[in-house]
Structure 1
Amino acid sequence: MKTYRVGLLVDGYEQPGWMHEMVDWLIHSQDFDISALLVMDGPGAEKPPRLGVKALFGTLSRFESRMLPAKQRQMLSCGDMRQRMPSASVPVLPLEVGDKGQDAVAALGLDLVITLGASRATRTQMRGWARLGVWQLSYSDIAVSTSRYAGFWEVFQRQDHTTVKLWRVGPAPEQDELLDQRSFNTEVFWLKNQARAFSLGNFMVYDALQALARARQSEPAPEMQIMSGPRRADPVEWDSAAYIARQAWLISDLIVRRIMKRNIRWRIGMFPSSRQQAVVSEAMVLQPPKGRFFADPFVYTHDKKPYIFFEDYDFTSRKGTISVATYSDGAFRLLGTALNLPYHLSFPYIFEHDGVTYMVPETCGNRSIELWKCTEFPLKWELDVTLMTNISAVDTIIFKHGEYWWLLTNIDRTDGQSHCDELFAFFSDSPRSTEWTPHACNPIVRNPMRARNAGIVVSPSGEVIRCAQYQGFCHYGKGVSLNRIEELTPSTYVETDGEIHYANFLSKRHASMHHWHHQGGHTVFDFAYME
């Protein structure tokens, strides 16, 4: 029998697909039972948009919806919520706006009420509805109670990140309790950004419910940083027109870049130091030939000589392989291809265990995390074991810390939309294990400013610096931060945020840097700019 009785509060029967996804998750959960559908009826406090705003945003929505993937169109398409209920026995309780209906809801004996979309119920009305109170998501800092323009302002203002918050509603606005706050890289178009916001909001609720079921609801969420801005007003006609003008300029710029074949090409730099300021004065550059780029370098010392393993991407085939270069006598020398598979490869993380050299390349194209063993250094490798299957994960690092081996990876839970927003940790007794235990606080980092792995630095004393990518609006690889792992156990994760370093040394348009690694007295990094 399920432990918690949950009620869903909506403002009408016809609701978008992301709300239906919430229903499906609750139906299949082991701990939560949908015990009521609460439907507000009648006019609410939220004013309907003016006719001009409605017309402009309606036209904009119809245009942008055509560019959405099928999954995201489904998230925004409406259907009758009553048809999603697990059975006809689930009560559907119509409510009126105003301080009425408390007794009818209280009589249901709910443990929790989750508000989906715009809530027109008053705080007085919701008081006493459920033992654990009322949860509510808010988007874009417009208001706690609205989702109509979720994700719009971040695209309009070209902000790097879009934030979603989960609240427990209090008797007054200043008494609302912030349960969780997360963000993601702002998408180029409003509706795509909105779909991402709704998807992330759902995952925040799922994670909070699972924590509640594990009786950990009193623990603070990892990477909880207050990023609130001033409350934003709903957009008006001028905002819609200005948005269209801005998007037209952006699209035209992208088209011109494609026509002129102006690619952003990644290169690799190396210097014999771990000092960030040494980049400009001491870095040696490994230049890719025309039609390719080099990225994600890892340096590995063998016979006292540095070997650089890196992603070798071909623009024609649109696929990456793993290549190797070495450095001696003041020059790089390409040695050849270490790994070439039917699917894309990148991020060739190298480590040693029991005298054997291993590689964990990014094999997301095969929906796996694979461990490869070196049979003849540096160009011959064979698949040793598949660590995880049926998973959309990138940029995996494996290292020994304390009594366990740790696997940190970026998993996408939104059907391939982004790997940059969340970092997951797993632990095991062996790096060759096929059974990895999830960290109790997964995802351990929930912030696109520092979630995606960009390399690692492990000192001889065991100190671990986890390098992380910083993403910007329409700018992949805007910078890199070096973050110190202070505490890592099966139930805790503490990381000190390092300064974000940008590729300012390039003084070029769209200067980028998104990888950093140090080993054996050598540091490698990648950088790019618009050609």
Structure 2
Amino acid sequence: MNKLKIGLLLDNIEIDKYALDLLNWAVRQDGLEVTTVLVRHRAALPPAPRATTLPELLFKIVLAIEGMLIRLFRAHRAHLLAYRLADAAPGCALVRLPLDEHAGVPALGLDLLVYGGTGAPPAGLAGMARLGIVALDYHGQRASRAAPPGFWEAYSKASKTEFEIRHTAPGSASSRVLAAGSFSTKFFFLLNQAHLYSKAGAQLKGLLKTIAATRCLPLEDRSRPYSGPYRLAPRWHQSLAYLGKLGARLAAKAFYRAFNFHEKWGISCVYADWKNAALWNSTRISAPRGHFWADPFLCTHNGKTYCFVEDYVYKSKRGHISVLEITDQGAQPLGDCIREPFHLSFPFLFRYKGELYMCPESSAARQIRIYRCKAFPLEWELCAVAMDNISAADSMLFEHGGRWWLLTNLDRSGLNDHCSELHLFHADSPFAAHWRAHPQNPLRVDAEGGRNAGLIVEDQRLVRAAQRQGFDQYGEGLNLYEIVELNEQRYVERLVFELGCTFRDGLLGSHHMSTTGRITVVDHLDRCFFP
């Protein structure tokens, strides 16, 4: 099959790290290639002298301060750097495209144009490629093009920062949304922007691979109404207010670090079914000093109830899997059951042909691993690797409709952030050599409901628990979704309940649920001194 021929449309002969990354990525793909780089330019004129306004001056101060902060984050140190296009794309034809002149461009034989700017794609250019033009959009109906992407979400402490991938067809004056999603908002503007660009760029790459494989664009228009405020470029008092907010956030982080305050997860247990669980009446189960317990999964065995947990050790900065026995008097630690030379968490349990298996989160090994129980509850052995060389977290395997299903959270950006992107695969057994990707993948790209947090099975009813991220806060709450349609072509879930962390004073989050029908557990997060 011929490769999908892509033209990259830019506004400048200097490109940022994200356009550079797209070019480098495309070179390694079998199904597509960037054959042409088009640069829009105006005739060279000396810039008209203009005094810097107060809003511009204050925003430059914001950028200068945060430009130093962003260099503390290794993955984003190049966020503000620019690269010469001639060095970045030596094998591509370079076409300088005047703003008012498009003659001859269709002869380039492009299948698709990809706009590499952050504003709106230039009007009238969709006819330059057979399939039109696609572009990442960080503004949508939410903000003017003058608003810096990611700024207002950090300013207002929004829980998530959104993006869209828009398509304009040849001959069309309007665009439609091919894909949309959100990522958790980081605690300062440039970090949030860098995270947004990296994660959204990974979504664009995934879409381009799909287009290259199918030779067509998704049919569904994912446009949605918007009811929030319309944002403009920050005014002087807003930049000044933001500098105050930034100073307060940095001071709070420095205080907690200086006085050895840490976030610590624990377990809350209530003796009721999940639908009738009054969490204010739950029993707190705390890990010993130097540890925290999270991601509880319940299991009944010989009339007793056991709880498998992530057992995180602060000193080693690594988790393993431990077991507790739940009784009417509380919880009794029984010991460790799985330790590896890498981090483990989320000990998802399932049964197959009468045997008990566990699929813990093992993204540090870049694998989805399955362990078999040799002697309950403490002896387990690795028996299969469902997927290898993959950045996946919080995987859940279950049988439904004669097929085995794998719900997992992928990170395709290289940032080790699995908090938004939900994928589904299916096979004829949990030990199949090949898992087939669902055609709706990714099912969700959403900081509020994307990441798995447990699975409740009641006869044929399936309820997926999902994490809800907060502003600069991992695992602020839970959403419960009932899976109402699941087959090889369709996946549909509906929100049935939202669970917060207000059932006990001082909690910062709650991001997991498990139940036996008689006992329900969630985890909870608070902050403590010398945990």
Q: Normalised by the size of structure 1, how large is the TM-score?
A: 0.90
Kindly provide the amino acid, as one letter, of the partner of residue 198 in structure 1. Answer: Y
- Number of residues paired by the alignment? 521
What letter corresponds to residue 166 of structure 2 in structure 1? W
Aligned to 1:123: 123
Aligned to 2:67: 62
Partner of 1:527: 524
Indicate how the Cα distance of structure 1 residues 280 and 37 shifts in structure 2: closer, same or farther if over 3 A, else same.
closer
What CA distance in whole angstroms lies between the structure 2 residues aligned with 1:436 and 1:147? 44
Matches within 5 A, 1:272-421: 272-276=271-275, 278-280=277-279, 282-421=281-420
> In structure 2, what is the equivalent of residue 270 of structure 1?
269
| Residue aligning to 1:515 | 512
Unpaired segments ≥5 residues, structure 1: none
Which AA in structure 1 matches 2:326? Answer: Y
Q: 1:219 to 1:517 in 2, by over 3 A?
A: farther
Say if 1:56 and 1:237, in contact at 8 Å, map to a contact too: no
What is the correspondence of 1:3-42 to structure 2 with a 5 Å cutoff? 3-42=3-42
Whichever residue aligns with residue 467 of structure 2, its letter is Q
**What is the CA distance between 1:132 and its match in structure 2?**
2.1
**Residue in 1 that maps onto 2:98:** 96
Work out whether residues 138 and 146 of structure 1, in 8 Å CA contact, stay in contact via their aligned partners in 2: no
Structure 1 counterpart of 2:87, which letter?
Answer: Q
Q: What is the rounded CA distance, in whole Å, between the counterparts of 1:429 and 1:117 in structure 2?
A: 44
Deviation digits for residues 46-105 of structure 1 (CA, Å, limit 9, x no counterpart)? x99856256424413431232221x32235421122333362xx43221223xx212232
The change in CA–CA distance for 1:418 and 1:386 in structure 2 (over 3 A counts) is same
Letter in 2 for 1:91: A
- Matched letter for residue 505 of structure 1: F
SS of 1:107's equivalent in the other structure is helix
Residues 216/495 of structure 1: CA separation in 2 closer, same or farther (3 Å cut): farther
Contact 1:161 1:186 (C-alpha < 8 Å) held by counterparts: yes
8 Å CA contact 1:428, 1:436 repeated in 2: yes
Q: Does 1:491 align with 2:489?
A: yes
**Superposition pairs of residues 237-256 of structure 1, within 5 angstroms:** 237-256=236-255
> Do the aligned residues in 1 keep the contact of 2:295 with 2:309 (CA within 8 Å)?
yes
Residue type matched to 1:67 in 2? Answer: L
Q: SS of 2:503's equivalent? A: helix
Distance 1:107 1:147, change over 3 A: farther
Query: How far off is 1:206 after superposition?
Result: 2.1
Q: Deviations over 1:176-233 (max 9, x none)?
A: 21222111001122222112222233223223323323256244388x7555744421
Name which of structure 1's ranges 464-473 and 100-109 shifts more when overlaid on structure 2: 100-109
Mean alpha-carbon deviation: is it higher for 328-337 or for 392-401?
A: 328-337
- Cα distance in structure 1, aligned partners of 2:243 and 2:96: 39
Structure 1 residues 383-392 or 178-187, which shifts more? 383-392
- Please give the alpha-carbon distance, in whole angstroms, between the structure 1 residues aligned to 2:180 and 2:63: 29
Greater shift after overlay, 492-501 or 471-480? 492-501
Normalising by the residue count of structure 2, what TM-score does the alignment of the two structures yield?
A: 0.90
RMSD (Å), alpha carbons: 2.9
* Aligned match of 2:422: 423
- How far, CA to CA, are the matches of 1:120 and 1:231 in structure 2? 16
Q: What is the percent sequence identity of the aligned residues?
A: 31
Q: Which residue of 1 aligns with 2:477?
A: 479
Q: Distance in 2 between matches of 1:445 and 1:468?
A: 11
Aligned to 2:246, the other structure's residue is in SS state helix
In the TM superposition, residue 468 of structure 1 has moved relative to its aligned partner by 0.2
Residues 1:106 and 2:106 aligned together = yes
Within a 5 Å distance, the mapping from 1:92-241 to structure 2 comes to 92-97=94-99, 100-118=100-118, 122-124=122-124, 126=125, 128-141=127-140, 146=145, 149-169=148-168, 175-213=174-212, 214-215=214-215, 217-220=217-220, 229-241=228-240
Shift of 1:262: 2.4
The CA deviation string for residues 16-39 of structure 1, in whole angstroms up to 9 with x for no partner, is: 111011112333333333232111
Query: C-alpha offsets along residues 143-201 of structure 1, whole Å, 9 cap, x if unaligned?
Result: 88958822111111111101111112479998321222111001122222112222233
| Alpha-carbon offset, residue 422 of structure 1 | 0.2
Q: Once the 2 structures are TM-superposed, how far is the Cα of residue 448 of structure 1 from its aligned partner?
A: 1.4
Specify whether residues 192 and 359 from structure 1 end up closer, same or farther in structure 2 by C-alpha distance, changes over 3 A only.
same
Structure 2 letter corresponding to 1:252 = A
In 2, Cα distance between equivalents of 1:221 and 1:449:
21
Whole-Å separation in 1 of the counterparts to 2:187 and 2:381? 40
Q: For residues 269 and 224 of structure 2, what CA distance do their matches in structure 1 show?
A: 34
CA offset at residue 257 of structure 1?
1.6
* Contact preservation (8 Å) 1:411, 1:423: yes
Range moving further from structure 2, 154-163 or 483-492: 483-492
Partner of 2:445: 446
Decide whether the 8 Å contact of 2:391 with 2:416 is kept in 1. Answer: no
Query: Please, which moves more after superposition, 28-37 or 335-344?
Result: 28-37
1:73 is matched with which residue? 77
- Residue 116 of structure 1 and its aligned partner are, at CA, apart by 0.9
| Deviates most, 392-401 or 251-260 | 251-260
Structure 2 unaligned blocks of 5 or more = none
2:499 equivalent in structure 1:
501
**Equivalent position SS for 2:511:** strand
Question: Whole-Å Cα distance in 1 between the matches of residues 377 and 130 of structure 2?
Answer: 61
Quick one: which amino acid aligns to residue 344 of structure 2? L
Structure 1 position 451, deviation (Å): 0.8
Q: SS at the partner of 2:449?
A: coil
Out of 46, 52, 57, the residue aligned to residue 57 of structure 2 is 52
- Partner amino acid, structure 2, of 1:463: R
CA distance in 1, matches of 2:196, 2:519: 41
Partner AA of 2:330 in structure 1: A
CA distance in 2, matches of 1:37, 1:216: 22
What are the superposed Cα offsets for residues 293-321 of structure 1, whole Å, 9 maximum, x if unpaired? 21110000101211111112222222222
Q: Structure 1 residues 108, 143: closer, same or farther in 2, change over 3 A?
A: farther
Identify if the C-alpha distance between structure 1 residues 470 and 325 changes in structure 2 by more than 3 Å, giving closer, same or farther: same
Rounded Cα–Cα distance in structure 2 between residues aligned with 1:27 and 1:422:
25
1:142–1:151 distance in 2 versus 1, CA, 3 Å: farther
Q: Distance in 2 between matches of 1:131 and 1:171?
A: 7
Distance change >3 Å, CA 30–CA 343, structure 1 → 2:
closer
Per-residue deviation, 1:374 = 0.9
Letter in 2 for 1:62: G
